[in-house]
Amino acid sequence: MAKGYRVSVHRTISDPERLAAYDKPAGPAVKAAGGRLLSRGSQVVAHDTGIAERTVLIEFDSFEQAVAARASAGYQEALAALADGVERDFRIVEGLD
């Protein structure tokens, strides 16, 4: 079964306090859903049209698990806390195997 990955690139962080309020419930919600934080990089080297902002990479045992984790009640709580505190590009992608 192919793994699932959540990739989030923060284009801008307009409200660091909202981001901190999001981080508190988001981490436990992701872990409870089987996610493993691989990177929460504040050091990013961007190429081409990339953005050198915070990039988060989370691995799940399956693509379906990654999708379900985003829909979980715990993660929805985190999203409510984040509101419009950041502009980000959030994707869930399927691994190769």
The residues spanned by each domain of the chain are 4-94
CATH fold of 4-94: Alpha-Beta Plaits (3.30.70)
pLDDT tens, position by position, 29-81: 999 999 999 998 778 888 998 888 889 999 999 999 999 999 999 999 999 99
Q: What mean pLDDT is predicted for residues 12-22? A: 95
Q: Whose CA is closest to 89, among 6, 10, 5?
A: 10
- Are the beta carbons of 82 and 28 closer than 8 angstroms? no
More confident residue, 20 or 50: 20
Q: How far are the Cα atoms of 10, 44, 54, 93 from residue 65, in angstroms, in the given order?
A: 23, 27, 24, 11
